[in-house]
Amino acid sequence: MTDIFEKFNSLNIMIIGDVMMDSYIWGKVERVSPEAPVPVVKVSNRENRLGGAANVALNVQSLGGKPFIFAIIGDDKDGSEFMSLLKNQNLSGQGILKIKNRPTTVKTRIIAHNQQIVRVDAETDENISEAETEVMIGMIKKILTEQKIDAIIFEDYDKGLITEKLITETVKLAEHRGIITVVDPKKRNFHSYKGVHLFKPNLKELEDGLKTVINPSKSGQVENSISKLKSQLGARAIMLTLSEKGVFISSDQGQRHIPAHKRDIADVSGAGDTVIATAALCLAAGLDEFKSSEIANLAGGLVCEHVGVVPIDKARLLEESRKL
């Protein structure tokens, strides 16, 4: 396993997706407001972190890979703060497109006593224009000609960057170059990811995408739904994340359920980002879909032990992967 983890250090991973700034307000609750039945949080600390597709990039980086982020932000104060955070993490901003009259997505979490009290989202989910899509495709093409890219991750939060044309053109470019494509989908573009290598929905996304209700406890429901989706997309593999029940993987090799490992769960925020980053690196390093899913499942559980969105610890993941 050590040789696979060492191989991560030579991999270049392109991440195309919706970035955001995760803003945290930490404090204590000592009383209830007299104005409304809500807790009063006495603020002790504030912090801004990279989120969304940028957190995927942090996970790729923490595992040793080199991330190339392609995303949009607003030409605003939050956008400037986001670029500063990228620089502080030694991440390149060359794939970031600033758009006027569009807000940078910011998710503010208020936390007290290691629990989220409330989350406030400032954002728009309007699709970028055709002209902006063409600019982004041009930026992607440029890097693909200048760098050896080993895998492309689509991190889709339905915030407007990823359009059907962007997906189609990028997958075509990847196929031409033999590059692995992996997808963390949302509802809007769910059926647009034709011919990708790995498609990773969670249960709600799968139900929304197939317009059905799925009971994982009932025999055959998950298997039949996954088979249907795999056929519709022409994907090589589907990895369904099932929260505390682990993951279900279906590939050309067959189907398998991988149970979750017992953890003291503090916060599930960002776990999906960790899973997709780990899976992409494992596949690009030459592991099959089953082994990649096992390690990604392990990684997702490990980050849930921490409050807030945090990238995976490579040394700890390697240590636990050796036990698989």
pLDDT at 323: 87
Q: What CATH superfamily classification does 2-27+41-321 receive?
A: Ribokinase (3.40.1190.20)
Are the C-beta atoms of 270 and 51 separated by less than 8 Å? yes
The pLDDT tens digits for 204-240 are: 999 999 999 999 989 899 999 999 999 999 999 999 9
pLDDT at 308: 66
Q: Where are the domains of the chain?
A: 2-27+41-321
Which helix (H) or strand (E) segment is 255 a member of?
A: strand 254-258
pLDDT at 304: 82
The pLDDT tens digits for 144-197 are: 999 999 999 999 999 999 999 999 999 999 999 999 999 999 999 999 999 999
Would you list the DSSP string of 13-76? EEEEE-EEEEEEEEEEEEEE-SSSSSEEEEEEEEEEEEEEHHHHHHHHHHTT-EEEEEEEEESS
pLDDT at 91: 97
pTM: 0.94
Instruction: Output the average pLDDT for the chain.
Output: 94
The pLDDT tens digits for 97-117 are: 999 999 999 999 999 998 889
pLDDT at 162: 98
Q: Rounded to an integer, what distance in angstroms lies between the CA atom of residue 22 and that of residue 188?
A: 23
| Nearest CA-CA partner of 25 in 130, 86, 97, 108 | 108
Binned at pLDDT 50, 70 and 90, residue 3 comes out as: very high
The pLDDT tens digits for 232-278 are: 999 999 999 998 888 999 999 999 999 987 766 655 667 889 999 99
Q: Is 184 labeled as catalytic in the residue annotation?
A: no
Q: Rounded to an integer, what distance in angstroms lies between the CA atom of residue 186 and that of residue 40?
A: 34
Active-site hit among 75, 267, 273, 288? 273
